[in-house]
Amino acid sequence: MNAAVLFDVQQASLGYQQRAILHGLNLRIHAGEKVALLGESGAGKTTLLRHLRTLRPDEVAWCPQHSGLVPMLSVFHNIYMGRLDRHSLLYNLANLLHPLQQPRQDIQRIAADVGLQEYLFTSVEKLSGGQQSRTNLARALYQQRAVFIGDEPVSAVDELQADQLMALICARHDTVVVALHDVELALRHCTRIVGLRAGVIELDQPAAGSSAATLCRLYAAT
């Protein structure tokens, strides 16, 4: 492959809260790849994603599973928070008190993309789980980075929506690394499948040519 290497993890042992979860991990991700991380919960997907994010913190649009939304703030504000780092404190405060024209237009558009246009100024705590999850995704989209890293970004929405949202994620980002639990969804949208099992990479293959049946062994009982 000619594309630049974005992430290069060699012989890494990664842990979360002082517990080693991933052992002797080798993973190289190139720009332009759409990588799906599969595996049972506890296999180490979240730990790996968190680590990847720390490697290029300024280039990554980050969409964590535990969303970190601020419940009492509106959808607008929660999305706006994706770009807090790009504005001065004064500009941020002004938007907190009264949304300004420019971010309002931008965020309106993104909210429409994920189907939240009617809820722009509703506080997040009044939304359903699926709507909150879409707010969280919209925040990551609003960051407009080249790389998207998401931990189950579409898990709380129905299948049809998940499909549309995954397409949106892939269309808006050059490189995508997402943990998914829906194998079909991964095969439809991603170019590469990485399967984790008990802290090691069990399989790593192109999506083209893979079938749901072969991927099932990731989830089979030992």
Partner 1 sequence: MVRTSLLFLLAALLCLPWADLQISTLDPWLELSRLGWGLLTPLPPSTPTLLDALANTLAFALQGVALGAVAGFWLALFYRWQWVRTLAAFIRSIHELFWALLFVQLVGLSSVAGVLAIAIPYAGTFAKIYGELFEEVDPAALEALPAGTSRLSAFFFTVLPPAWPHLLTYTRYRLECGIRSSAVLGFIGLPTVGFHLETALKQGMYSEAAALFYALVLVIVTLHLWMRRQLLPLYLLLALWWLPPAAQVNPTLVWQFFTVDIVPAPLRAGWDGAALWLWLQALWLKQIGPGLANTVVLGLIALVATSGVTLLTFPLVSRLFGNIFTRSTGHVFLVLMRSAPEYLLAFVGLLLWGPSMLPAIVALGLHNGAIIAHLVGHYSNELNLREDAVTGFNRYFYEVLPRVYRTFLAFTLYRFEILLRESAILGILGIPTLGFFIDSAFSEFRFDRALLLLLVTALLNMAVDMIARHLRRRLQLSTHPEDL
Q: To the nearest whole angstrom, how small is the minimum distance from the Cβ of residue 121 to partner 1? A: 14
* Nearer to partner 1 (CB atom), residue 139 or residue 192: 139
Pick the closer one to partner 1 by CB: 79 or 165.
79
Q: How far is the CB of 106 from partner 1 (least distance, A)?
A: 15
CA distance 152 to 109: 23
> What residues contact 7, with CB distance under 8 A and at least 6 apart?
27, 28, 29, 52, 55, 56, 177
CA–CA gap between residue 20 and residue 221 (Å, rounded) = 22
Q: Are 62 and 139 in contact (CB under 8 A)?
A: no
Contact (CB, 8 A) for 75 and 120 = yes
Q: Are strands 34-38 and 192-197 parallel, antiparallel or unpaired?
A: parallel
Using the minimum distance from each CB to partner 1, give the nearer residue, 40 or 174: 174
Minimum distance between the CB of residue 96 and partner 1, rounded to whole angstroms? 6
Q: Give 87 or 188: the residue with its C-beta nearer to partner 1.
A: 87
**Minimum CB separation from partner 1 for residue 39, in Å?**
23
Tell me whether residue 137 or residue 194 sits nearer to partner 1 (CB atom). 137
Residue 41 CB, nearest approach to partner 1 (Å): 18
Strand 192-197 to 200-206 pairing: antiparallel
Interface with partner 1 by CB under 8 A: which residues? 57-58, 60, 62, 64, 66-73, 77, 80-87, 89, 92-93, 96, 139, 143
